[in-house]
């Protein structure tokens, strides 16, 4: 029995060590990009600012992490930041670099395939697959308020109030509701839209999920916590 206990302890220690090493690897790669890239226009500057925000958050999470799930959260946050870096590099006409690890949520959300516009409470919100002076806020794709939102460049960061909660979340949900119906047809690769669009903003969440917000509010674009191969993706940067 004692031998079996030691075996379990060794396995847990190895898992913890692997999770920490992976988290630090992605965190350092994000840091290398954030610290060495300078935006050349408003879209790239904004995307790099969002990447820097994720870098700061990942650093704070890393300082406090003591378990494998907490280290995987660091990996999630760092990868989200690298999606913003990739968007910034694209906006500046640079090689975006190797593809990042995908996830089921991002695949379901898809990407904007064309420029679209919706009117929300007297204001216009637009989205496009390409950055522009008007559409200079990037979203990497995933779930917001329990619904898939395609990756693309938007005229405003309408999702941020929803992440913060409180009174500001109401306005974000109004935009989200309009986008789910107005931008769904403009998304490619978004398998979820055919089934999720029919009920407006309610009734389309996963079984058992509160229709307002995902547990925890935001999943960082839907990154899976434990399935990342830490080597090779950004070695050429």
Residue 112's DSSP bridge partners are: 187
CA distance 116 to 127: 5
- How much is the average pLDDT of 167-173? 62
CA dist 45 and 154 (Å) reads 14
Return the exposure string of 36-45: e unless at least 16 CB atoms fall within 10 Å of the residue's CB, then b.
ebeeeeebbb
- Give the span between the Cα atoms of 161 and 218, in whole angstroms: 11
pLDDT digits (tens, 9 = 90+) for 193-228: 444 433 333 333 333 333 333 333 334 433 333 333
Q: What is the DSSP letter of 101?
A: P
Ordered by start, the domain boundaries in the chain are 2-91, 106-196
Q: What is the pLDDT of residues 11-70, one digit of tens each?
A: 888 889 999 999 999 999 999 999 999 999 999 999 999 999 999 999 999 999 999 999
- The yes-or-no verdict on residue 71 having pLDDT over 50 is yes
* Cβ atoms of 197 and 184 closer than 8 Å: yes
Query: Residue 120's beta-bridge partner residues?
Result: 123
d(CA 104, CA 223): 8
């Amino acid at each position: 029995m004692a031998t079996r206990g030691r075996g379990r302890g060794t396995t847990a220690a190895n898992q913890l060590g692997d999770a920490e090493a992976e988290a630090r690897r992605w965190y350092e790669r994000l840091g290398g990009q954030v610290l060495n890239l300078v935006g050349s226009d408003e879209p790239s500057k904004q995307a790099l600012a969002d990447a820097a925000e994720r870098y700061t958050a990942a650093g704070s999470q890393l300082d406090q992490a003591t378990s494998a799930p907490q280290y995987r959260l660091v990996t999630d946050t760092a990868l989200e930041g690298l999606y913003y870096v990739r968007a910034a590099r694209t906006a500046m006409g640079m090689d975006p670099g190797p593809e990042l690890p995908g996830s089921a949520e991002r695949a379901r959300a898809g990407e904007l395939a064309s420029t679209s516009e919706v009117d929300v409470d007297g204001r216009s919100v637009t989205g496009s697959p390409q950055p522009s002076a008007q559409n200079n806020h990037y979203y990497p794709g995933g779930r917001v308020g329990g619904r898939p939102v395609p990756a693309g460049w938007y005229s405003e960061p309408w999702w941020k109030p929803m992440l913060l909660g409180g009174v500001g979340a109401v306005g974000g949900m109004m935009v989200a509701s309009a986008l789910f119906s107005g931008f769904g047809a403009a998304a490619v690769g978004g398998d979820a839209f055919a089934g999720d669009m029919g009920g407006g903003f309610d009734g389309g969440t996963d079984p058992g999920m509160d229709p307002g917000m995902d547990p925890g509010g935001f999943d960082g674009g839907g990154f899976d916590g434990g399935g990342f191969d830490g080597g090779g993706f950004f070695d050429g940067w």
